[in-house]
Homo-oligomer: A and B are copies of this chain.
């Protein structure tokens, strides 16, 4: 589970509830019309903007924002290094056995392509195509949430305008003006909360995850190509760890290979 998303969402909702409960009165903020207009309006426009499959699928996409990042860079690098050692002793074909133990499908597919004897350029092409298609699909998922985040305040305002138009028409009883405006404003509040606490942050988290996944996939591609080229495990480690932010690198990881290690090998 992605603790950050859960903590953020829970504490955000909690804070708003605390402020409402100590300042006002919860039932005043529960409003069926506001729910209908903001929730329904956002869903309706999403249907117009995209298609049924995309909108329904966006629920599954949203769940990803609540799941732990499954791309552990360090684990990937460790596994790559042991494959690298295996390949240096048993040859590329020696990876066939190890391949079956790789659980990440993208990683396994890459090793499979290498074991099948495909050449470097082809492997890079196939894997990069996968990366670019995945990114495009994810971008669509993010766009659904971003558009919902843009629409929510608009429908909140539409609800408030409907309320105001009605209230202003019959202002005979001044004591009713306040409560009527209060009800009208709740719509704007719903739109602002839903957009800024749910839709926009989730769109951002999905974008963040996509970048993490793309980075991990890049590490996998570079690693497999380097194994094919017979790069020394020491150099491979240095190369792959250059993708890891400095604060996350393990001690000793970025040391210089001992003197005789020709750096040219790294250039491949």
Contact = CB atoms under 8 A, between A and B. Distances in A.
Interface of A: 2-5, 7-9, 11-12, 15-16, 18-20, 22-25, 28-29, 33, 36-37, 40-41, 43-55, 57, 65, 69, 112-113, 116-119, 121-122, 125-126, 129-130, 133, 137, 147, 151, 154-155, 157-159, 161-172, 175, 177-179, 181-182, 185-186, 188-189, 192-193, 195-197, 200-202, 204-205, 208, 242-243, 245, 247-248, 256, 263-264, 266-267
Given A118-B263, A129-B242, A112 B256 contact: yes
A125 to B, nearest CB: 7
Contact of A33 (B19, B25, B243): B19
A38 to B, nearest CB: 10
A54 B51 CA distance: 26
A205 B49 contact: yes
The A interface is mostly helix, strand or loop, or mixed, namely helix
A8 B46 contact: yes
How many copies of this chain does one complex carry?
A: 5
A50 to B, nearest CB: 6
A47 B186 CA distance: 26
Contact of A8 (B47, B129, B155): B47
Contacts of A158: 16, 189, 192-193, 196
Contact of A168 (B41, B112, B178): B178
Of the candidates A118, A155, A158, A186, the one having the most CB atoms from chain B within 10 angstroms of its own CB is: A158
Contacts of A116: 263
Nearest to A2: B51
Nearest to A137: B245
A95 to B, nearest CB: 16
A24 B178 contact: no
A147 B149 CA distance: 14
Given A48-B205, A50-B208, A126-B266, 20 more contacts: A2-B51, A4-B50, A7-B44, A8-B43, A8-B49, A9-B44, A12-B48, A15-B41, A16-B37, A19-B36, A23-B162, A23-B163, A48-B202, A49-B205, A130-B242, A133-B243, A147-B204, A151-B196, A154-B192, A170-B178
